[in-house]
Structure 1
Amino acid sequence: MRSLLRDGLLDELHLTIHPVVVGGGKRLFEDGTGHIPLTLLAGRTLTTGIVYATYGRA
């Protein structure tokens, strides 16, 4: 996914964001990825606090 995003080959990102703070794991956007302008296309929050967000290139 990172290489596709870096090379401009992704039109949309569908993210599931959980309201939990953890100290480890893989970063979605690495240092050195550069600036990638995105626009929020849609978003929905569930009663559990989970957020479904769809982003497209700006």
Structure 2
Amino acid sequence: MRVKEDLLYKKIGERIRDRRTKAKLTQGQLADAIGVLRTSITNIEAGDRKLLFTSYTSFVLF
């Protein structure tokens, strides 16, 4: 079960990175826009950080 969860977070991170780069935003700019630290964006994009529902909402609304 853990492997599937890890793959899910890596895939989510890849999609966030793809969308961010297509929007020509730095990790810092995205972090400021949704109210998290830049290091959080780094970890999310790497699939190393689980997202809370509120974080998902911030990404969707941005």
Q: Same fold (TM over 0.5)?
A: no
Identify the structure with bigger relative contact order (alpha carbons < 8 Å, sequence gap 6+): 1
TM tier, smaller: under 0.3
Give the structure with the larger helix fraction: 2
| Rg (Cα) greater in structure | 1
TM-score, normalised to structure 2, is: 0.25
TM-score, normalised to structure 1, is: 0.26
